[in-house]
Copies of this chain bind each other. A is one copy, B any other.
Amino acid sequence: MPFDAPAESANNPVLVEVTRGGAVESRHRGAFAVVDTDGRVVLSAGRVAAPVFPRSAIKPIQALPLIESGAADAFALSDAELAIACASHNGEPDQVEAVTGWLARLGLGAGDLACGGHAPKHEPSARALARAGQAWDGRHDNCSGKHTGFLTLARQLGAPTRGYVGFAHPVQQRVLGVLEQMTGLDDLTAQPRGIDGCGIPTIALPLGNLALAMARFGAADDQPERRQAACRRLRHALAAQPRMIAGTDRLDSAIAQALGPRCLAKTGAEGVYGAALPELGLGLALKIDDGAGRAAEVALLRLLTRLQLLDGAAGDALAGHANPAVTARDGRTVGEIRPAANFPGLGE
């Protein structure tokens, strides 16, 4: 399933501009691909065959083995738990509680999470923790749900829970197989590989193949019944528990709240987005060259607008993310983040 666009050797175009006063202060280049479940490109711009690390944008696909292995049933996972297995969460109290309870049912704790940990991304939650004299641990890590999913899968596979982040561990190998099937790439071991921030392998994929995986996640009709059921169950969980995927003031949760099962969008570090659009039978992937999340969000919403998903109330609910104000610290609006005037690839 090769995604070789004619402009593959050219520079990626400017997708997003940041203004101050009447001038453009900063510019973000990038590439995107929107494809159907057969891998046909519906919309694209820039180098869609160049490999990019999907980072956390691939989490919903990484969570499929949790269901397909029987672990989700064996451990009676709730929608909230399945949703947080796909999340880059804020470390807010309800999210940390969900992870804590899930770990406890496994007979495990924060010390079994190999993701490291960091202060909650949600600033008020981080401050509250500090005020209470408490330290953060692995449960506050934005990837702790995914890692708890990996621990659950290890249990289900009868594999050791220690070392589950290693490339050769049965958990990562099971995930690798699902990634190969969903991306249409036969041998992911031949792709560039790195270590993600949370310690697990991350494998670089052409944007087109990441978009294909998202298309199949959203509309897996031609996949085996077990895969279809797993995708359906995860999509349902994400739409039912929109707070779990990200949290307060976060775009992925706002999209899940506004669009429910019509759009399942997942951010990844370094300016990546993946989104499944089940109604349209399409998948979307984008990467900002320089890694800026602020630009990835605005580009994503420009594409969702073009795909006519942001009409009416959904558009109103997401307007602040689609065209964010740049503000001075005294509260004044002094600029904006906006799609480039000639946002490419959208000839209607």
Contacts and interface: CB of A to CB of B under 8 A. Distances in A.
Interface stretch (A20-28, A234-242, A300-308, A316-324): A20-28
Contacts of A160: none
Given A115-B329, A329-B117, A194 B20 contact: yes
A130 B330 CA distance: 22
A335 interface: yes
Given A131-B130, A199-B329, A21 B141 contact: no
A214 interface: no
A194 B330 contact: no
A242 to B, nearest CB: 26
Interface string A117-147: 1110001000100110100000001000000
Interface residues of A, number: 50
Contacts of A36: none
A202 interface: yes
Contacts of A133: 131
A173 interface: no
A192 B292 CA distance: 25
Q: Which 9 pairs between the two chains have the least Cβ-Cβ distance?
A: A116-B329, A21-B194, A20-B194, A26-B291, A23-B192, A290-B290, A195-B334, A130-B130, A127-B130
A139 B330 CA distance: 14
A204 B21 CA distance: 10
Contact of A118 (B27, B289, B329): B329
A199 B123 CA distance: 24
A295 B18 CA distance: 17
A332 B199 contact: yes
A282 to B, nearest CB: 26
A198 interface: yes
A23 B204 contact: yes
Contacts of A27: 289-290
A270 interface: yes
Contacts of A68: none
A198 B328 contact: yes
A260 interface: no
A52 interface: yes
A226 interface: no
B25 A195 contact: no
Given A116-B328, A130-B130, A25 B11 contact: no
Contact of A25 (B53, B117, B328): B53
A240 to B, nearest CB: 29
A101 interface: no
